[in-house]
């Protein structure tokens, strides 16, 4: 454990120390909270923004729970929290053990485990996509034939498309199974799921006492999904017709009821198919990642998702004013996608950061680092967030960034 700053009036335990937790730590300090942060990496991106740091894996829910209980016993925290990070089960389990406000570990597991999520949605009649859960490769062929090709093979408890493959025929099953199995965290089952074709969208909501409060929809852009799903852009607000957006929130409300989520952040990855039907890829009890809920939805709408969800995690009442839009700006987070290989140069980064309309640019790799094959969203090396009052200005900002900021690689 390390101490960074002196105590404030109250405390919160935040799970996960990646880039996405930096805005949460800043917001917590604005709210007068002492911040306790966990991550397995002692040099994680958010380390310098916390008051106290603990080297604990975000997936080690038992050790996290012990820490939470200890901090409560010392009257140091009143809540456990994460956002944009796939640690919803760890948060709920630790809060439950520490007798703090929580959605409950059982409910959180249904939102994290993709097979349990499918079971709950199917039983409630919310979604009818074909799927099968398997526990070993011997079950794979029969399950795949039942689901039908093409299908997606997924580890049941990972995120950011880690371990996910698109499977077109039986010959591809073994590689896909091995890839999914390698990316399992605490669960042991693998999910086979029929492909849902359409445009993809990220839907943020906040639940309070069973009532859903909309918190913005973004449009997602991916590389062509020959095998792997890798997102390259996310744009806010969504360009979908208002009728479809309303249907999305209605679908999310039904999904929340099916899973049993009545409080806190609730995010969905949804598809609008060729028949304009709203379909669910997955849902989870946290805010969206990809700098969507952290930066873009606040930029685009003037809302404060982080304050709203931090308040709820501390057992406080939701202030609905935090989620009422104040304006409608255009924003986008996207990544340059250099060829896999060794990074030989990074040009124009600081100049690009100074371009009017550029809000943030993060680099996750340096010269000399290797960019592997793009197999999931976590492999992206950079995240560029821009904002403008209209689409044309946003387009011009992106063009200027592309002319300025370049990442070169070598395959030698």
Whether residue 4 has pLDDT greater than 50: no
Assess contact for 27 and 295: CB atoms under 8 A. Answer: no
Q: Using one digit for the tens of pLDDT, what is the confidence trace for 256-267?
A: 999 999 999 999
| Confidence at residue 32, expressed as pLDDT on a 0 to 100 scale | 96
Least confident of 171-185, 198-212, 346-360: 171-185
| Confidence at residue 6, expressed as pLDDT on a 0 to 100 scale | 42
| Confidence at residue 402, expressed as pLDDT on a 0 to 100 scale | 96
Which two tokens mark 229? Answer: 């799903």
Q: Using one digit for the tens of pLDDT, what is the confidence trace for 201-250?
A: 999 999 999 999 999 999 999 887 766 778 899 999 999 999 999 999 99
Q: CA-to-CA distance for 190 and 193, rounded, in angstroms?
A: 10
Separation of first and last alpha carbons in the chain: 42
| Confidence at residue 231, expressed as pLDDT on a 0 to 100 scale | 84
Q: Using one digit for the tens of pLDDT, what is the confidence trace for 120-178?
A: 999 999 999 999 999 999 999 999 999 999 999 999 887 767 888 999 999 999 999 99
User: How many residues are given for the chain?
Assistant: 412
The model's pTM is 0.90
pLDDT band at 2 (very low <50, low <70, confident <90, very high): very low
Whether residue 354 has pLDDT greater than 90: yes
Helices 114-123 and 242-259 sit at what angle, rounded to 10 degrees? Answer: 100
Q: Is 198 exposed, middle or buried (0-12, 13-18, 19+ CB in 10 A)?
A: middle
Q: Which fold has domain 2-102?
A: Rossmann fold (3.40.50)
Assess contact for 405 and 347: CB atoms under 8 A. Answer: yes
Q: Using one digit for the tens of pLDDT, what is the confidence trace for 25-84?
A: 999 999 999 999 999 999 999 999 999 999 999 999 999 999 999 999 999 999 999 998
Q: CA-to-CA distance for 140 and 66, rounded, in angstroms?
A: 38
For 280, how many CA atoms within 13 A lie in the half-sphere containing its CB? 29
| Confidence at residue 224, expressed as pLDDT on a 0 to 100 scale | 79
Q: Rounded to whole angstroms, what are the CA distances from 300 to 79, 238, 292? A: 28, 11, 10
| Confidence at residue 7, expressed as pLDDT on a 0 to 100 scale | 43
> Per-residue DSSP letters for 250-306?
HHHHHHHHHHT--SEEEEEEEEEETT--EEEEEEESS--TTTIIIIIHHHHH---HH
Strand, helix or coil at 403? helix
| Confidence at residue 1, expressed as pLDDT on a 0 to 100 scale | 42
Domain coordinates in residue numbering, the chain: 2-102, 130-194, 198-329, 335-410
| Confidence at residue 259, expressed as pLDDT on a 0 to 100 scale | 96
Q: Which one has a higher pLDDT value, 107 or 159?
A: 107
> Per-residue DSSP letters for 189-242?
-EEEEE---EEEEEEEEEEETTEEEEEEEEEEEE---SS---EEEEEES--S-H
| Confidence at residue 146, expressed as pLDDT on a 0 to 100 scale | 95
Which two tokens mark 263? Answer: 């409080």
| Confidence at residue 304, expressed as pLDDT on a 0 to 100 scale | 98
Q: CA-to-CA distance for 47 and 162, rounded, in angstroms?
A: 24
Q: Which fold has domain 130-194?
A: Dna Ligase; domain 1 (3.30.1490)
| Confidence at residue 408, expressed as pLDDT on a 0 to 100 scale | 96
**Architecture of the 198-329 domain:** 2-Layer Sandwich (3.30)
User: What's the chain's average pLDDT?
Assistant: 93
What percent of the chain shows pLDDT beyond 70?
97
């Amino acid at each position: 454990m390390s101490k960074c700053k002196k105590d404030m009036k109250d405390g919160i335990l935040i799970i996960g120390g990646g880039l996405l937790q930096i805005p949460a730590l800043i917001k917590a300090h604005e709210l007068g909270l002492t911040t306790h942060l966990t991550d397995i990496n002692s040099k994680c991106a958010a380390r310098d923004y916390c008051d106290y740091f603990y080297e604990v894996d975000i997936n080690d829910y038992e050790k996290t729970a012990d820490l939470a209980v200890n901090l409560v016993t010392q009257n140091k925290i009143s809540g456990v929290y994460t956002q944009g990070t796939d640690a919803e089960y760890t948060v709920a389990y630790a809060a439950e053990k520490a007798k703090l406000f929580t959605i409950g570990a059982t409910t959180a597991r249904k939102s994290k485990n993709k097979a349990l999520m499918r079971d709950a949605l199917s039983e409630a009649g919310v979604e009818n996509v074909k799927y099968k859960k398997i526990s070993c490769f011997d079950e794979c062929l029969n399950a795949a034939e039942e689901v039908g090709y093409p299908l997606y093979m997924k580890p049941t408890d990972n995120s950011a498309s880690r371990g996910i493959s698109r499977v077109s025929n039986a010959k591809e099953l073994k590689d896909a199974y091995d890839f999914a199995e390698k990316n399992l965290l605490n669960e042991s089952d693998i999910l086979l799921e029929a492909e849902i074709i359409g445009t993809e969208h990220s839907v943020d909501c906040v639940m309070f006492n069973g009532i859903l409060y909309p918190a913005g929809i973004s449009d997602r852009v991916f590389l062509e999904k020959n095998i792997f799903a890798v997102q390259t852009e996310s744009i806010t607000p969504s360009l979908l017709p208002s009728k479809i957006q309303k249907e999305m929130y209605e679908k999310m409300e039904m999904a929340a009821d099916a899973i049993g989520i009545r409080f806190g952040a609730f995010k969905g990855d949804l598809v609008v198919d060729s028949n304009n039907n709203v379909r669910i890829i997955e849902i989870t009890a946290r805010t969206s990642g990809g700098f969507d809920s952290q930066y873009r939805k606040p930029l685009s709408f003037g809302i404060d998702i982080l304050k709203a969800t931090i308040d709820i995690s501390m057992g406080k009442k939701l202030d609905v004013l935090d989620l009422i839009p104040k304006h409608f700006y255009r924003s986008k987070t996207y990544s340059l996608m250099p060829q896999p290989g060794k990074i030989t140069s990074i040009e124009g980064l600081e100049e690009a950061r100074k371009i009017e309309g550029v809000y943030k640019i993060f680099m996750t790799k340096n010269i000399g680092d290797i960019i592997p094959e793009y197999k999931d969203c976590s492999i992206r090396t950079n995240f560029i967030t821009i904002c403008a009052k209209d689409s044309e200005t946003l387009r011009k900002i992106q063009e200027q960034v592309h002319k300025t900021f370049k990442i070169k690689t070598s395959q030698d």
